Amino acid sequence: MRCTKFFFHFILLVSFNCTFSKSVLSDNIINCPKRIVGYYTSWLNKYITEAQARKLTHVIYSFISLHSNATLYIGDLKNPDSKMLAEVKLQHLFSMRKVNPNLKIMFAIGGWENSQYFSHITSTYQGRASLILEIIRMIDIYDFDGVDVDWEYPTTGGAVEGVPEDKRNYVLFMKEMREAFNHYELKIRRYSKLLISFAGAAGEWTLSPGFDLTNLSIYVDFINIMSYDYFGAWDSKWGAFTGPPAPLYHGSLRSMSGKMNVDWTIKYYYCNSKDLGKLNMGIPLYGRYWNNVGEPIDKNDDMWRMAIKNRKGKYDGGHITWRSLKNKINCTWDIKNSKYHNKAKVPYIVERNRFLSFENPRSIREKMNYVEKKNLGGSYQFVILKVKMPIVAVLMDGVELVRIIVNALDVLILKKLLNLDLNKSFT
């Protein structure tokens, strides 16, 4: 799954706090904390509001730039003016602690365009130590509550190539960072634990060679799974077929992989980490389209088509937010013409030789029903973010879809609570 450079206003993450088992202990329902996390971009001239800050438990400031010598820098060295805006936005973000004293503020490093140094830095103890000390320096200066690592991607690479040793070195980096955090906490007598999280890939071809989930999960507090962008008009062989950004289930043709869906990804993480409480499932609040597609590959299923390259030899397409689609802002797509794919559980539109698939209220409800059907625990959380290069964490777009998720979480929690033994005393 290719990670695009474009930014999208929202991706929801639902975190699972218990297990896939049929039974859930009522104590877990009471004790599972609710985590609502948002990524907040450093360069767009938009600011988090007090109302938004009150709804969040965690905000991840994205990004702080990583350089080849393992130093970190606020802003972009290529754009001197960016530092001032980044600093102002950071100060504004920390002021939100006045309206929400329990708000955890973290920062992210990496991303699609700034992961090129991870492989070299983490290959030696000295390199890992240098970066960890830089992270602690940032925490000490600004009073951050932790760090989010967005390495795209160990071993397989993303914008730059990786090496096989990345998988082992990633674990060493997380392990040594956790140990350094523990030491730092004792040194300054910090009352709360410093947090570590990372952004995780969705496809097996990236996960298996690059992510040792069993050991990574030991040292992190939560994982943001990028369970979206399974299909898109990528400038590669992966852009050759139409499909939805986040199919819930395998609904593609028999000749296509059964691993290109959210269900497969979540199960992979669970089977390899054994800790659903740390997993966040990404739900995109945008659609992806192709401008030039052929006839259906299978006459009985018109969602799957071959994309046709343009004169420049590239697949022509892009993305559109739910808000723009619903309100027809700078777009010609008509959601009244959409169809629903009963296998993949997603809507799509075919207009002339164009194809679009997206998320709507029905598909969001299907994903929330997935959470309930798997009996994933007594507390469900979501997070609003845009993962990839620019990250936006403001409650400005996809409000209707967000409301559906919030309502679904409330109903599921209520169902669990109604099943409690009210005569039982909890400690």
CATH number at residue 150: 3.20.20.80
CA dist., res. 70 & res. 72, Å (int): 7
Confidence of residue 76 (pLDDT cuts 50, 70, 90): confident
Residue 302 lies in a domain: no
Task: Name the token pair of 291.
Answer: 């401008």
Q: How many CA atoms lie within 13 A of 337 on its CB side?
A: 12
Residue 176 lies in a domain: yes
Residue 389 lies in a domain: yes
Residue 265 lies in a domain: yes
Region 104-127 average pLDDT: 96
pTM comes to: 0.83
Residue 330 lies in a domain: no
**pLDDT tens digits for range 182-225:** 999 999 999 999 999 999 999 999 999 999 999 999 999 998 88
pLDDT score, position 19: 46
- E strand or H helix at 134: helix 125-142
Answer yes or no: is pLDDT of 154 > 50: yes
pLDDT score, position 280: 78
Residue 315 preceded by cis peptide, ω within 30: no
Confidence of residue 411 (pLDDT cuts 50, 70, 90): low
CA dist., res. 115 & res. 158, Å (int): 8
**pLDDT tens digits for range 277-325:** 788 777 888 899 999 999 999 989 999 999 999 999 999 999 998 888 9
The more confident residue out of 395 and 362 is: 362
Task: Name the token pair of 96.
Answer: 């939100």
Confidence of residue 422 (pLDDT cuts 50, 70, 90): very low
The more confident residue out of 375 and 296 is: 296
Residue 311 lies in a domain: no
pLDDT score, position 27: 38
Region 57-70 average pLDDT: 93
Residue 292 lies in a domain: no
Region 175-186 average pLDDT: 98
The more confident residue out of 83 and 246 is: 246
Confidence of residue 98 (pLDDT cuts 50, 70, 90): very high
Asked if residue 114 lies in contact with residue 65, where contact means CB atoms within 8 angstroms, the answer is: yes
Confidence of residue 129 (pLDDT cuts 50, 70, 90): very high
Its domain, for residue 260, covers 11-285+360-418
Residue 352 lies in a domain: no
Confidence of residue 25 (pLDDT cuts 50, 70, 90): very low
Answer yes or no: is pLDDT of 132 > 90: yes
Indicate the range of 221-230, 272-281, 331-340 predicted with least confidence: 272-281
Q: What is the mean pLDDT of the chain?
A: 82
Answer yes or no: is pLDDT of 166 > 60: yes
Specify the number of domains making up the chain: 1
Asked if residue 376 lies in contact with residue 16, where contact means CB atoms within 8 angstroms, the answer is: yes
